[in-house]
Amino acid sequence: MEKRTARLTVLVDPQKKAAFEQLCDREDVTPSQKIRQFMRDYIEQSLGADWKTQVFSSEESD
């Protein structure tokens, strides 16, 4: 399924970043893991539970 990685650069307020990092630390996850979780949840909310079929089937035709 997920074969490649891509970098996503996001500019945020330094205080929000620090608060986010502290909350992630409390959950014993990295900020990157939490962002990926947010992205998966948002995609599933928008495209439905079968989003992986929709998203990754287009990769196979590339």
Task: Please check whether residue 12 lies inside any domain of the structure.
Answer: no
Which structural domain, as residue segments, surrounds residue 43? 24-60
Whether 61 shows a pLDDT value over 60: the answer reads: no
pLDDT tens digits, 7-49: 899 999 999 999 999 999 999 999 999 999 999 899 989 888 8
The reply to whether the predicted model has a pTM over 0.85 is: no
Q: Indicate the length of the chain as a whole number.
A: 62
List of residues 6+ apart from 15 with CB closer than 8 A: none
Q: Give the separation between CA 47 and CA 59, rounded to whole angstroms.
A: 17
Task: Please check whether residue 29 lies inside any domain of the structure.
Answer: yes
Task: Please check whether residue 18 lies inside any domain of the structure.
Answer: no
Confidence of residue 54 (pLDDT cuts 50, 70, 90): confident
- Higher-confidence residue of 44 and 56: namely 44
Q: Kindly compute the dihedral angle of the four CA atoms of residues 59, 43, 26, 19, in this order, to the nearest 10 degrees.
A: 110
